[in-house]
Structure 1
Amino acid sequence: MSSTDKRYATSIDLPTEDVFRNLQNACHFAVDIGGSLVKVAYCSKLHRRTSQVRDHKEDNNCIYQILEEDGYTRRLHFIKFETKYIHQCLDFIRGHLMQSKEFMLDKKNIKATGGGAHKYKDQIIKTLGVQLDKEDEMECLINGSNFLLKNIPDEAFIYQRHGQPEYQFQGIHHDIFPYLLVNIGSGVSFVKVESETKYDRIGGTSTGGGTFWGLGSLLTKAKTFDDLLELAEKGDHKKVDMLVRDIYGGEYSTIGLTGDIIASSFGKAARTDKENVPCYKDEDVARSLLLSISNDIGQLASLYCRLHQLKKIYFGGYFIRGHPLTMHTISFAINFWSKGEIQALFMRHEGYLGAIGAFLKGAEEEDTDRYTWGENFAGCSGLSSSNPLLDSRERSSTFDMLELDKLEKMLQPCSLLLDPKSYLPDTVDLTTDTAAREYWIDCFSNSVDKTRDQAMASQTGPDVKERAETFKQKYLQRLQELHDNPCAYGSLTVRSLLDTSSHCLSDCLFTDPYSQLKQTENEQALKCLPQLLHKLDGLSWEELQLSLAKGLLAGNVFDWGAREVVNIMENQDFGFVEAQDKLQERPWLCDNYEEWHQRLQDKPHKCAVIFVDNSGADIILGVFPFVRGLLKRGTNVILCANSRPSLNDVIYSELLILVKRVAEISPDIQAAYKDGRLMVMDSGQGSPCLDLRLINFELVELMKKQEADLIVIEGMGRAIHTNFDAAFSCESLKVAVIKNRWLANRLGGDMFSVVFKYQKPQKIIAAKS
């Protein structure tokens, strides 16, 4: 921290050096000024080094041209200040955000919400020299809440202090209405939300976060909000509160009150002998105060839900802050007063709802409905651990940071899912599966050197080694955090561990470390394709179908994300034939080939949607012959590739070129591509795994238009780590070779075990009344 920035240390959590570096590229910002805290949301234009793959003609041959280009992406950052230090907040905005070369202030106005937007209007205008657009606080809260619930997987969760798991994350759903939003700031507002535009503040109370902070400051020696939470975690409220058993000697069974229910908050304090030293401490007072306020808020929320026939309650504001005792108390109150019919739902980034809503107001000219934002795990902090030994600084530093990346596409749930509301992409939850968590975190920790080396080999320049080492340290630090606190970023899965690696690489300007390797493998595979197609054309129908299935599997063996396979490829000649020889003999570990074979004897599918995996032999020698077989049957095909790079997965821009290259070899592919029966789409994803809750909306529309009746998911990440149990309303085929010995053994197989899982359309089973 520089000397000029030390003056902020008493009031804010400053961004990291990486974020400060991005302040010079800030585009625009918005502020939410509450009675206790000021939250600033600002968007930066981040530098990204990208590899662009293009094709051009040279000597009548279509060849690759790989260009390393400088690109940019948008990222949304957040920072907070105590409102009593608002002058320092304005200094920060003026000295950093408004000095940005990218800052757009054509109209000389900024968006602001919260009570302070009115109270400090003149001070803001005078200090910053801008006009202030005061946005409605309730509208901003609702917009921010809807934004997070629809964009961020695992944003909302149920908390059970002694439950397994402790955090139950709710995934992501686009059908979120109606719900009750309880915003706990200095005071509390209860808002009934029925749609994007229809909401009503149905009540409120002045007993909120400001009450806890104010009374806590009067009654204890705590100086900050976090100090109070730390005291409350250590205290014993029974030394201050009067319980039912203190009055009745036990429970009051006739009205259903157990003996440990609080009958009177601070009731025992009134009986303290003032001439003697009190028998309670500051910790006990803080805990009693927290329980009193939390219980009252929970009871009011439950009563409002009953009054308005609502079943979901989301808690927002900056009072909760992921504090386990607070969430436990509110959850207990909701459960008690609703008799278990309603559950309290909390939000990982509940303190920034108003700031996000105000930011969205300022970004309306960018047509925010046309794209989606995704959480960046490299730049975010997660929910703090429930460990009561964490001090306030540790708790604050592990909860307050949020960074979102702008994704260029609007993402929607896949229309082929049987029930999008119940769909969960991940096969294993590492949060609860301790053995799997230990293995996979150790596995990724051991492979980080290989990833670092690949990143260094992919670029040139004086700072490449330094950036690669920074990636390694950042990823290892994140893995350690997840080992200690698995729930920090939502449900911990193999998918999230892989995505975190990609985010850390990208943050260190390694957007596509495998780009050159992928193109080399593509060229090698293209040379083998004519001979393979000729061989397939000489087979009988029976032989052909099995060869196409085995070819799809053999191609999937080539995976630079599988450590044991990488060792084989690096130390011996290993081609498509050798990969076929490695495959498990039938019967396979999961073997529905006979059902698939029988289905192929029936009428052709209308349209197959195929989510592809790796470049090289996988896509060219495995997928394209399989696609050719479907096209010959009269089935239209949509090939779906990732929008953004990850490992050696083929991406959309590469697949567009490969289709043209393969079309020059195969007349069937050429005719289908020309006639529009073979289509190439980007999935909207950037992961080795596949989350069908968030895919390109244009792909969703094309699936509907083409009346897709078959979905094919290929690869260990897409069909094993995710979607193995996914249910679809159409026929599905999940194909993968297991290239991890630990996983294979856990599933009852061995290395190169085969999963060939074909399922007919499934139906929703109605619950028995």
Structure 2
Amino acid sequence: MTGDHQNNTDQESVRTSPDMEAQKYAASIVLPDADVVFRNIKNAKRFAIDIGGSLTKIAYYSTVSHRKVLYNPEKDGTCSSMDGGNYQYESSETERLHFVKFETKYIENCLDFIGDHLVSSKDSVVGKSIKATGGGAYKYAELIQQKLGLLVEKEDEIGCLIKGCNFLLRNITDEQFAYHRHSEPEYHFITVEHNIFPYLLVNIGSGVSIMKVESDDKYERIGGTSMGGGTFWGLGSLLTEARGFDELLQLASEGDHRNVDLLVKDIYGGDYSALGLTGEIIASSFGKAMHNSHTKADGSKDFSEADIARSLLFTVSNDIGQLASLYALLHGLKKVYFGGYFLRNHPLSMHTISFAVNYWSRGDVQALFLRHEGYLGAIGAFLRGAEECDPEKYSWGENYAGSSGLQSPLPRPQGAGWPGGTTIDQLEIDRCDQQLTFFPLLANPEEYIPDAVDLTKDKEARDYWLSCFEGSLSSFVNRAISSQPNTDDSVERANKFRDKYIQRLHNLKNHPFAYGSLTVRSLLDMREHCLNEFDFPDPYLQQKKLENENALKLLNDHLNYLDELEHDKRQEVLVRGVLAGNVFDWGAKEVVKLMEDGLGFKEAADKLQARPWLHDDLDAWIARLQGPTHQCAAVFIDNSGCDVVLGIIPFARELLIRGTRVVLCANSKPALNDVTAEELTMLMKQVAAVCPIINKNLETGVLSIRESGQASPCLDLSRLPRSLVEDLRNWNCDLVVVEGMGRAVHTNLAVKLTCDSLKLAVIKNRWLAQRLGGDMFSVMCKYEAGNDIEVISSPVAPECGS
């Protein structure tokens, strides 16, 4: 360093000493605005900590209270109500995992924060413990006990990393991706195989550990290197004025390593073809810095600090990538996951590692990255001994309202003095009520993708749907307010819902890969998460109840009409009835006006496209019904009202008459006007009073109602309740019926099953219909025999909320 540079550094250190900086950082995390980051902190039950040489990650478990409709089946078979439809609610709790990070140099401030916010009473924690992993679990054990009064239970770092990795791969959609810097899109999200093993895990912390993972319990550390994130940060601090890790990464993104590195072409004047080396390959990292010719008369260099930072990043990344690929080849592994906070999902780091792995393995090894790579150790430490997280009982899912997303940090809290370069990247995971698993009748579960279109790859569709969802938001705000008319703060909460959802949509315009493969399903899920975030669990509840009541009045006459028809005609009318019922969808913007004007069931049937339909397998389905009786049919249903009462129930009744066991699979949680399993259970009591056939089969269990594990208008067949899967397997399910745009078209139209399948839907979006070569109310009726599957791939995406 020059003398002037040293003087500037000394002056800066006087202005902001380490103690002063730590105090500033500490102040920022205890301001009221910190609630934006440390959500539900007052309800935290237990926590774990992963203390690395550079960064500390905290995991804590909390319960989140929210409204839930109070059902009273003994009273009216539906739900308790008062004041003309303002439904009574009971308090319900959701279990949630939160993850927050600190720089390890602020560990004392971090522990003070935990003491003030996570440990409410010193007396209440006497004799209790905290799970801790990472090198700091040993280094800071005494400090933790002193600050918090908690016993430190040290957990093996490698075991925690692997446990956390397995947890993420099994529970978080689109957790893994490959990175291709010069492609569109750069992020390629890859479906996690049903069996995630074996793989190589390369954790890049201060140093690097390389682990071979063969099962949950069989793994070993097979190598590593001391050249890791600490090397990059340490040398970067010596060679540049960057004051933190994020600042150093930003500096590297602005530099040109070719000003510092000696390339092959600098030695040979171009490519070295004999060895297959292109001219742009780095021959010597920092090689140009050794030449005096690069020093100007005033003592300055031809390269900048940004160039140095970029060269340093490439040096470390190339070394790690080469080492990982060699270990993978040595052990015959094809997948290498890279984790740790060195990456930070940083494009340059991922690009360099991917290039190195591909180059040294000649394409035989795939470099994969994790969206939440920095949390592996913290997750693993938390899971140790956490009965409430028992993987044999529960599955988890990312909360889109609370997580910031890949390369999409949330805005800093207003007024909070966060240190320079700090961003708020959060991860929140909600616990499902049960364990979810793959549908056993998927023909190729390893290839299953529950979406027809990836909007990150289709800009026209992405622009349309993002605009569509934003344009329809006001109707959801109004619906949320009207669903709680006697609640003082409903307007305020509805406006907060609108603001958060719009913020998310705008973030996705700039970072469409933030939550994995951007799809209409993920946009719908995000909207439901935001509604629940502000305590609007079921805005369409009153509408659903009204439509069910009106449809029930027509059911008896409709069943009598069907019974008078001859067999083939009856089958056609039954399918048309399912399609007519599917028109009734409050998520389809272009249909809402018709429904508000009083759309009837017969009018809806008249709206359907005339045959031949856009996809027309009706004749094939009717012909199949002339053959052997199906043993068991799983029917994944859609909307309340005419859809379920006049469409699905008569269809299911016909299957029952044929001698087929029927399982009606409905949403576990509300979404738009979709019927839930809880609602359907009570609705069927009223249906049973109308139809003796339904009543008999309900009593004998031949007709049953099951939760589908979904809280969305779409259907993910890789996340079904294990109890449902086991029942369908035991009952030899040989027919699957999937209804509705979200379930039958946008997520499962091209999916292969090993049994017969019937997919029914009406296209209720003009833009989508025209893209498919049809018009409004075009019909999709797709039947496939289990032993003769013909797959049709269609570039489809659903209506907002359909």
Tell me which interval the TM-score lies in, with the shorter structure as reference length: over 0.9
| Pair 1:172–1:396, CA change in 2 (3 A) | farther
Calculate the TM-score normalised by the size of structure 1.
Answer: 0.95
- Please tell me whether residue 71 in structure 1 is matched to residue 70 in structure 2: no
| Pair 1:705–1:14, CA change in 2 (3 A) | farther
Partner deviation per Cα, 1:609-657 (whole Å, 9 max, x = no partner):
0000001110111000000000001111111011111101001110111
Partner of 1:686: 711
Partner of 1:306: 329
Match of 1:99 among 103, 112, 120: 120
- Please tell me whether residue 223 in structure 1 is matched to residue 249 in structure 2: no
Partner of 2:109: 88
Task: Confirm or deny: 8 A CA contact 2:247 2:421 kept in the other structure.
Answer: no
Partners of 1:11 and 1:666 lie apart in 2 by: 62
Which amino acid in 2 is paired with 1:503?
H
Partner of 1:318: 341
- Please tell me whether residue 441 in structure 1 is matched to residue 489 in structure 2: no
Partners of 1:397 and 1:308 lie apart in 2 by: 38
Task: Confirm or deny: 8 A CA contact 1:644 1:685 kept in the other structure.
Answer: yes
Partner of 1:35: 53
Partners of 1:703 and 1:615 lie apart in 2 by: 24
Partners of 1:396 and 1:297 lie apart in 2 by: 26
Q: Tell me, which stretches of 5 or more residues in structure 1 are unaligned?
A: 387-391
Calculate the TM-score normalised by the size of structure 2.
Answer: 0.91
Partners of 2:338 and 2:39 lie apart in 1 by: 33
Partners of 1:369 and 1:519 lie apart in 2 by: 36
- Please tell me whether residue 294 in structure 1 is matched to residue 317 in structure 2: yes
- Of 14-23 and 253-262, deviating more is 14-23
Match of 1:502 among 515, 528, 533: 528
- Please tell me whether residue 480 in structure 1 is matched to residue 480 in structure 2: no
Partner of 1:338: 361
| Pair 1:428–1:133, CA change in 2 (3 A) | same
Task: Confirm or deny: 8 A CA contact 2:38 2:100 kept in the other structure.
Answer: no
Q: CA deviation at 1:764?
A: 9.3
| Pair 1:182–1:601, CA change in 2 (3 A) | same
Q: Residues 95-494 of structure 1: matches in 2 within 5 Å?
A: 95-99=116-120, 105=125, 107-273=127-293, 276-364=299-387, 367-384=390-407, 397=423, 400-459=425-484, 460-494=486-520
Task: Confirm or deny: 8 A CA contact 1:384 1:395 kept in the other structure.
Answer: no
- Please tell me whether residue 54 in structure 1 is matched to residue 72 in structure 2: yes
| Pair 1:365–1:630, CA change in 2 (3 A) | closer
Partner of 1:726: 751
Q: CA deviation at 1:255?
A: 1.4
Partner deviation per Cα, 1:674-710 (whole Å, 9 max, x = no partner):
1111111101111100111111111111110011011
Percent of counterpart pairs with the same letter? 57
Partner deviation per Cα, 1:356-405 (whole Å, 9 max, x = no partner):
0011014136534200110011111112179xxxxx9998637x211111
Secondary structure of the 2:783 match is: strand
Aligned length: 751
| Pair 1:231–1:269, CA change in 2 (3 A) | same
Task: Confirm or deny: 8 A CA contact 1:27 1:104 kept in the other structure.
Answer: no
Q: Tell me, which stretches of 5 or more residues in structure 2 are unaligned?
A: 1-21, 82-87, 410-417, 791-802
Secondary structure of the 1:46 match is: strand
Secondary structure of the 1:309 match is: coil
Partners of 1:579 and 1:394 lie apart in 2 by: 59
Which amino acid in 2 is paired with 1:114?
G
Secondary structure of the 1:397 match is: coil
- Please tell me whether residue 589 in structure 1 is matched to residue 589 in structure 2: no
Which amino acid in 2 is paired with 1:549?
V
Partner deviation per Cα, 1:489-526 (whole Å, 9 max, x = no partner):
10000100100100000000111111111111111111
Q: Residues 6-25 of structure 1: matches in 2 within 5 Å?
A: 7-8=25-26, 17-20=35-38, 22-25=40-43
Partner of 1:534: 560
Partner of 1:557: 583
Partners of 1:12 and 1:257 lie apart in 2 by: 54
Secondary structure of the 1:403 match is: strand
Partners of 2:113 and 2:757 lie apart in 1 by: 54
| Pair 1:91–1:394, CA change in 2 (3 A) | closer
| Pair 1:15–1:490, CA change in 2 (3 A) | farther
Match of 2:671 among 646, 663, 666: 646
Partners of 1:106 and 1:374 lie apart in 2 by: 33
Partners of 1:633 and 1:135 lie apart in 2 by: 58
Secondary structure of the 1:472 match is: helix
- Please tell me whether residue 579 in structure 1 is matched to residue 579 in structure 2: no
Partner of 1:389: none
| Pair 1:672–1:21, CA change in 2 (3 A) | same
Partners of 1:226 and 1:357 lie apart in 2 by: 25
Partner deviation per Cα, 1:706-743 (whole Å, 9 max, x = no partner):
11011110001111211111111111111001111111
Task: Confirm or deny: 8 A CA contact 1:240 1:284 kept in the other structure.
Answer: yes
